[in-house]
Amino acid sequence: MSFLNRVWRARASSSAETLIFISRTFTASSSGIDLHPGASFSTKLPSLPKVPKDRNVKWVFLGCPGVGKGTYASRLSNLLGVPHIATGDLVRDELASSGPLASQLAEIVNRGKLVSDEIIINLLSKRLEAGEAKGESGFILDGFPRTIRQAEILEKVTDIDLVVNLKLREEALVAKCLGRRICSECGGNYNVACIDIKGENGSPGLYMAPLLPPPHCATKLITRPDDTEEVVKERLRIYNEMTQPVEEFYRSRGKLLEFNLPGGIPESWPKLLQALNLEDHDDKQSATA
């Protein structure tokens, strides 16, 4: 057997173990929204069935760096009572833990590259296992899958109900990444960028107000090491190369809801809820991160 073949077999068997684990975790949880085969969505397209708040939805959030996946996935997770699992956060937790993987990961993440499918699936499996032990079911995945291989593995082990693809113009994406600030104490996410793109030749303008921190966070703000202009551009390039095909993967299965963000949170959140046929009766989240 050739060397490459041996490597491939070894990799395949480790994926299979993980797969068995993820499968065990999720076959128990009930499915969320039922999509009609072949249905496809845009922000204007068909209304989805109403989702009761306690349904264990299995949703995925796709979108370029800086688009706001974390913000909207976390709000929906609060609303629907399912865990928000962001693989970027799992990677950052691993980095902060100074465990054996940390220096290897820092080198990859700080250059804007993707972590290997094996490592990311391992981190995700551990997170799911911990959630299972606490009785979690359903999820909103943010930042996973990011490659076709990850999407194929996920498809083998569970049935995703819906994939929300958030979209924003590239100039706004870069500005939002560069303006991102995180409170080193409470982890709150803020943004100091004020995005004001004028409409041209019939295309609408875009305004996104800054999301400023409260005074107790203002002195403790940090930026992500991968939010420099050079690294953000590399992350966008990698998104287009490796993750855009994942959009097509779900589009062809009738699971993709395309959502063009019309502005900041106050404009976008109600419209996103509308597109998802959800209601937020006690909307305390309308203007905050």
Catalytic residues: 69, 146, 180, 224, 235
Question: Which of residues 88 and 179 has its CB atom nearest to ligand ADP in the complex?
Answer: 88
Question: Which of residues 39 and 101 has its CB atom nearest to ligand ADP in the complex?
Answer: 101
Nearest by Cα to 17 from 147, 162, 127, 121: 121
| Rounded Cα–Cα distance for residues 214 and 186 (Å) | 11
Question: Which of residues 65 and 213 has its CB atom nearest to ligand ADP in the complex?
Answer: 65
Q: Which run of H or of E encompasses 207?
A: strand 206-208
Calculate the dihedral angle through the C-alpha atoms of 282, 88, 63, 177, rounding to the nearest 10 degrees.
Answer: 90
For 238, which DSSP code?
H
| Rounded Cα–Cα distance for residues 13 and 16 (Å) | 5
Question: Which of residues 34 and 171 has its CB atom nearest to ligand ADP in the complex?
Answer: 171
250 near ligand ADP (CB under 6 A): no
Q: How far is the CB of 73 from ligand ADP (least distance, A)?
A: 10
91 near ligand ADP (CB under 6 A): yes
Q: Tell me the one-letter amino acid at 265.
A: I
The crossing angle, in degrees rounded to 10, of helices 148-157 and 3-27 is: 50
* x/- track of binding to ligand ADP for residues 209-248 (CB under 6 A): -----------------x--------x-------------
179 near ligand ADP (CB under 6 A): no
Interface with ligand ADP by CB under 6 A: which residues? 65, 87-88, 91, 108-109, 112-115, 120, 143-144, 146, 150, 226, 235
